[in-house]
Amino acid sequence: MVFSSLPFLYFFLPAALLLGLTAPRKARNAVLLLLSLLFYFFGEPRFVPLLLFTAAAAWGCGLWAQKRRGCLPLLVICVLSLGQLAYFKYADFLIGTVNGVFGAGLPLLRLALPIGISFYTFQAISYVADVSAGRVTAARNPIDFAAYLTFFPQLIAGPIVRYSDVQTALGDRHVTLSGFSGGALRFCVGLGKKMLLANVLAEATADFAAAQTQTVLYTWLYALCNALMIYFDFSGYSDMAIGLGRMFGFDFPENFRHPFASRSVAEFWRRWHITLGSWFRDYVYIPLGGSRCALWKQLRNLLVVWALTGLWHGASWTFVLWGLYFAALLILERLFLAKWLARAPRWVAHLYVTLAVLVSFVLFSASSPAEALSQLGGLIGLSGTPLWDTATLAALRQYGVVLLVSLLGAVPLVPLALQKLRALPHGDAVCAVLQPVAALVLLVVSTAYLAAGSFNPFLYFRF
Amino acid sequence: MKIKRIGSILTALLFCGVLLLFCAATAFLPKETISAAERRRLASFPSFSWDALWSGAYADGLSTYVNDHFALRDGLRAVNTAVRTTVFRQPTVGGVTELDGYLFSPQSALDERAIRQNAEKLQSLIDTYFPDQTVYFSVIPDKADFAPEALPRLDTDAVVSLLCASLGAEYIDMRSTLELADYYRTDTHWRQERLGDTAAALLEGMGLTLSDDLSAGTQNAVELFYGVLWGRYGLPLPGDTLVYCATPATESAVVKNLDHPDVKTVYDLQTTSPDPYDLFLSGASSVVEIESPLAQTNRHLVLFRDSFAGSLAPWLLTQYEKITMIDIRYIASAQIGAYAELSADDVLFLYSTSVLNTGGVLK
């Protein structure tokens, strides 16, 4: 089940809010667990046992790690979690690579990927690692722990919530009026980002793929729409997850902070998919030595982390290349580019990040490195197509305003405007009126888009 | 602080109110079985089985059911179209563009492979059934060709060129006889009462002359015809008036329809189809034979066609004693000899660009 669906919004969510918020305090986590399992069952009934197995294994390893500090519990959960990830997500990638290199002709497994496996396995690993390192105490109650790992707002597409983020709330949480209404507004904003922007930008990219001639201007339009689509899709989902968490009394970590306002790629990654970046930093980069080691080791660490980050996003060489592309940029920034960018005019730095990110997402979305190269060549006119044609102009007419709104939404314009508004006399009163109006309009219009049967798959659903 | 609290209360109330309102309305309002706007049967509540539950089919069925029966669905679809067209200035919604009150659904990508594949299929019909006969073909342009503003549209000239290059048949060009007003505003199809010049051009191409003006007969109107594009667009635009023309030739004609054996008349006024345009020779039918006792010749026309020909064929009744209409979207080419008489004086392939540009539809 995805959040941007009518069955979730108008049947599951009201029931979940009713049951989750009115359940007796002692039974709250059990109710949340049942609701989360029902949510997962609705989309992937076959993989509910796998989810429960992962939760049980992480809980057991956590207790074990608490009793006997050492690497073994962490090793066990890594083998179990990464093993299932390798089997379900990467087996065909490995087989395909072996077949390609050695001509082995091994049959592909063609396994269905359990929804959210990349997220909940990482949460399981981080939990045992944190207990092993003494950063958190292990959960005694298996229901509380399972409620954390399977909690439906963050189950299938993050943010990657760590146990320490919600440990207190799992034990005792209070849902306040301002928390609930703030969560509702955040959920509606995320839903609006997904339905009104990301899905329409997805239509634009689909139109580009179907176009007879991919002109230079059309390729630029595609690159912009594609990058913004990925941003609004994923950040919209994160907003919905954070909003739902708040409605149930949990504070999830932020996952996006206007990454397109960055002035370096390093800053971009501090603002984009923050919980994934910090996961790799804390559990891979720093244990490898981080940046407190010889320069060649620092560079090696960056390459390892970014190859893994790419691979986390998808089992294909384009994702590995995508990760290594960012590694290359980050290495250049570490060597000299960051200093140069700091001295350069702001617009130069912004332009550099924008171009770097546009190129990266062309690679991210391509079905093969060859297709990515062809599209990148199209950006600079190497594909031999004209600058524009009637189909390009029609696409601009069709998506121009959505693109403009998306561009404005991708930078912190609205938060700044609201900040200024609040500083005015009666600004708080205006904001207090705007909040329910915005929530209502976004919810109803998004529902209208859903009812119209808009194309609606979540991009991060299968990660 | 007080005003902030009021804002929070309002937000929470409105959010929960909208959720509960739509939930209750969807659960308790009476359910339709057919969507008139979409011309399809709506999903029924899925039947439960453990297998379906475990495979996910039951959950999928429930999702489809909720989507199909969601409260105020058509109204919400209108909101979707209104927001897209007015706020986001998107000229096309659901693949449909509105210009000057006309709805267009232009296909823009020319599928050369599909056209060649369809041409091969038509050529195989010629080779199999009409090897020694002059066969004619004509192409019906999409109404986007006549749009008041340039729309991304299928290149009809390219379609014709590809067919001329690969089909051993004589081309009859009737495109110059058509204009935007010859099509319904809310539908893809053309208007029967305005096809006089088109019918004359086709007959002239086959060496005949149109002798009877169908539009001079009784023009019967079916009010509030909401065409297929109307449903896809979503906004409640005014409907069309569907017109069918009755003359002594159409009244006396006897129809034999392989798929609708009870219907004997040119106009199927009892049709239960959700598409009113199906009153023309009962719409989608594999083989239809029309015998015209008032024909001025004893010629036999075999017409390979799509849905456009249903409203055109009555124009030809005074020139052909018998018209056999075959739609190979609904019957395999290899089988038509068993169901239709193919010894014809004239053979015509009459297809719209949208069918020709789609692969795999001709069997």
pLDDT (tens, 9 = 90+) of chain B, 363 residues, equals: 688 889 999 999 999 999 999 999 999 999 888 887 777 788 899 999 999 998 889 999 999 999 999 999 989 999 999 999 999 999 999 889 999 899 998 776 788 899 999 999 999 999 999 888 889 999 999 999 998 877 777 889 999 999 998 888 899 999 999 999 999 999 999 999 999 999 999 999 999 988 888 888 888 888 888 888 888 888 888 999 999 999 999 999 999 988 888 888 989 888 877 788 989 988 888 899 999 998 988 999 999 999 999 999 999 999 999 999 999 999 898 888 888 888 889 999 999 998 998 888 888
Quick check: bond before A159 cis, omega within 30? yes
Does one domain contain both B116 and B252? yes
Whole-number pLDDT of residue B1: 67
Q: Are strands B346-352 and B322-326 parallel, antiparallel or unpaired?
A: unpaired
Q: Which residues of A touch B26 (CB under 8 A)?
A: 10-11
Q: Which residues of A touch B79 (CB under 8 A)?
A: 444-445, 448
Does one domain contain both A123 and A233? no
Marked catalytic residue, from A174, A313, A350, A426: A313
Residue A200: closest CA among A232, A245, A234: A232
Does one domain contain both B37 and B107? no
For residue A429, the chain B residue with the least C-alpha distance is B3
Does residue B200 fall inside a structural domain? yes
Q: A346 exposed, middle or buried (CB, 10 Å; 0-12, 13-18, 19+)? A: exposed
Amino acid code (one letter) for B188: T
Residues of the domain holding B66: 2-73
Number of domains in chain B: 2
ipTM above 0.85, yes or no: yes
Tell me if residue B234 falls in helix, strand or coil: coil
Does one domain contain both B37 and B124? no
Tokens 């990058």 -> residue: A227
Does one domain contain both A200 and A86? no
In this prediction, residue A462 has a pLDDT band, given cuts at 50, 70 and 90, of very low
Q: Which residues of B touch A14 (CB under 8 A)?
A: 16, 19-20, 23
How large is the average pLDDT for residues A181-187? 96
Residue A370: closest CA among A459, A362, A210, A211: A362
B151–A185 CB contact, under 8 Å: no
For residue A185, the chain B residue with the least C-alpha distance is B11
Residues of the domain holding A40: 6-173
Determine what percent of chain B falls in helix, strand and coil, rounding each to the nearest 5.
Answer: 40, 20, 40
Give chain A's mean pLDDT.
92
How large is the average pLDDT for residues A268-280? 96
Does residue B81 fall inside a structural domain? no
Does residue A336 fall inside a structural domain? yes
Q: How many CB atoms lie within 10 A of CB A324?
A: 17
In this prediction, residue A6 has a pLDDT band, given cuts at 50, 70 and 90, of very high
Write out the two tokens for A422: 């609040």
For residue A399, the chain B residue with the least C-alpha distance is B90
Does residue B82 fall inside a structural domain? no
Looking at the partner chain, which of A6, A212, A401 has a beta carbon nearest the beta carbon of B89? A401
Does one domain contain both A265 and A158? no
Does residue A447 fall inside a structural domain? yes
Does residue B79 fall inside a structural domain? no
Does residue B117 fall inside a structural domain? yes
B63–A445 CB contact, under 8 Å: no
Give the single-character DSSP code of A11.
I
> In the listed set B55, B73, B91, which residue is the last one of a domain according to the structure?
B73
Is residue A260 over pLDDT 90? Answer: yes
Give yes or no: A313 in active site.
yes
Does residue A156 fall inside a structural domain? yes
Whole-number pLDDT of residue B108: 67
Is residue A84 over pLDDT 50? Answer: yes
Tokens 């080791």 -> residue: A297
Which residues are B255's β-sheet partners?
A: B290
How large is the average pLDDT for residues A14-22? 95
Number of domains in chain A: 2
Write out the two tokens for A251: 């504070």
Give the single-character DSSP code of B104.
E
Does residue B241 fall inside a structural domain? yes
d(CA B124, nearest CA chain A) in Å: 29
How large is the average pLDDT for residues A12-36? 95
Cα–Cα distance measured from residue A250 to residue A190, given in angstroms and rounded to the nearest whole number? 17
Size of interface A-B (CB pairs under 8 A): 153
For residue B23, the chain A residue with the least C-alpha distance is A10
Does one domain contain both A167 and A222? no
Does residue B91 fall inside a structural domain? no
Does residue A446 fall inside a structural domain? yes
Is residue A322 over pLDDT 50? Answer: yes
Does residue A386 fall inside a structural domain? yes
d(CA B36, nearest CA chain A) in Å: 15
> In the listed set A126, A150, A173, which residue is the last one of a domain according to the structure?
A173
Helices A369-379, A346-365: axis angle to 10 degrees equals 140
Does residue A237 fall inside a structural domain? yes
Does one domain contain both A187 and A159? no
Q: Which residues of B touch A185 (CB under 8 A)?
A: 11
> In the listed set B53, B73, B93, which residue is the last one of a domain according to the structure?
B73
Does one domain contain both B8 and B111? no
Q: Which residues of B touch A405 (CB under 8 A)?
A: 88
A436–B4 CB contact, under 8 Å: no
Helices A390-410, A216-247: axis angle to 10 degrees equals 30
Residue B286: closest CA among B359, B323, B339, B229: B339
Does one domain contain both B39 and B141? no
- The model's pLDDT over A118-167, given as tens digits with 9 standing for 90+, comes to 999 999 999 999 999 999 999 999 999 999 999 999 998 879 999 999 99
Which residue, among B19, B55, B77, B99, would best test binding to A if mutated, counting the most A CBs under 10 Å from its CB? B19
Where does A366-412 have alpha helices with state H? Answer: 369-379, 390-410
Does one domain contain both A386 and A421? yes
Q: Is the dihedral of CA A169, A175, A181, A187 positive or negative?
A: positive
Q: What is the dihedral of CA B41, B46, B52, B57, to 10 degrees?
A: 50
A44–B6 CB contact, under 8 Å: no
Using alpha carbons only, give the angle B22, B26, B29 rounded to the nearest 5 degrees.
120
Looking at the partner chain, which of A7, A181, A440 has a beta carbon nearest the beta carbon of B18? A440
Q: Which residues of B touch A42 (CB under 8 A)?
A: 59
For residue B63, the chain A residue with the least C-alpha distance is A7
Does residue A201 fall inside a structural domain? yes
Contact indicator for B101, B85 with CB cutoff of 8 Å = no
> In the listed set B54, B73, B92, which residue is the last one of a domain according to the structure?
B73
Does residue A134 fall inside a structural domain? yes
